[in-house]
Chain A
Amino acid sequence: MTLAEFTPLLPDLLLLALALAVLKIDLWSEDGEAGFHLTWIGLAGLALLLAFGSRSDAVFADYHITAASRVWKLLFTLATLATVFLSRPYFRAGGNARGTLAKSGAFFGLLLLCMQGMFALVSAGNLIVFYLGLELATMPIYALAAYQPRDADSAEAGSKYVLMGGFSSALTLFGISFLYGATGSLGFPALEAAVRAAPADPALWGGIFFLLGGLGFKLAMAPLHMWAPDVYQGAPTPVMAFLSVASKAAAVAALATLFLSPLNAVRPDLAPCFAAAAVLSMVAGNLGAMRQKDLRRFVAYSSVAQVGYMLLAMLGEGDGSRAALVYNLVTYGVTGFALYFIMGVIGKEGPETMSGLRGLSRRHPGLAVLLVLCMFSLAGVPPLAGFLGKFMLFSAAAAEGHYLLVGIAVANAVVSFYYYMLVVKEAYIAPPGEAAAIRLRPLQIMVLWGLGLALLVLGVCPAPADWLARAAGN
Chain B
Amino acid sequence: MLSEYLSFILYGFLVVATGVGAIALSSLLGPKKTYSKVKFEPYECGVDQTENPHKPFALKFYTFALLFILFDIETIFLLPWAYGFKRLLHTGTLPAVLFFLVLLGLGLFYIIKTRALEWE
Contacts and interface: CB of A to CB of B under 8 A. Distances in A.
Interface string B83-120: 00000000000000000000100100110011000000
Contacts of B114: 27
B74 to A, nearest CB: 15
A27 B113 contact: yes
A23 interface: yes
Interface in A8-49: 20, 23-24, 27
Contacts of A20: 103, 106
A27 B109 CA distance: 10
A24 B105 CA distance: 12
User: Chain B at the A interface: mostly helix, strand, loop or mixed?
Assistant: helix
Contacts, number: 9
B1 to A, nearest CB: 15
Contacts of B106: 20, 24
User: Chain A at the B interface: mostly helix, strand, loop or mixed?
Assistant: helix
Contacts of B110: 23-24, 27
Nearest to A106: B114
Contacts of B103: 20
Nearest to A16: B103
Interface string A207-244: 00000000000000000000000000000000000000
Interface in A54-102: none
Contacts of A27: 110, 113-114
A20 B113 CA distance: 14
A23 B106 CA distance: 10
A23 B103 CA distance: 12
Interface in A232-272: none
A236 to B, nearest CB: 21
Nearest to B110: A23
Nearest to B114: A27
A146 B86 CA distance: 46
Interface of B: 103, 106, 109-110, 113-114
Interface of A: 20, 23-24, 27
9 contacts: A20-B103, A20-B106, A23-B110, A24-B106, A24-B109, A24-B110, A27-B110, A27-B113, A27-B114
Given A23-B110, A27-B110, 7 more contacts: A20-B103, A20-B106, A24-B106, A24-B109, A24-B110, A27-B113, A27-B114
- Report, nearest first, the 6 A-B pairs whose CB atoms are least far apart: A27-B113, A20-B106, A23-B110, A24-B110, A27-B114, A24-B106
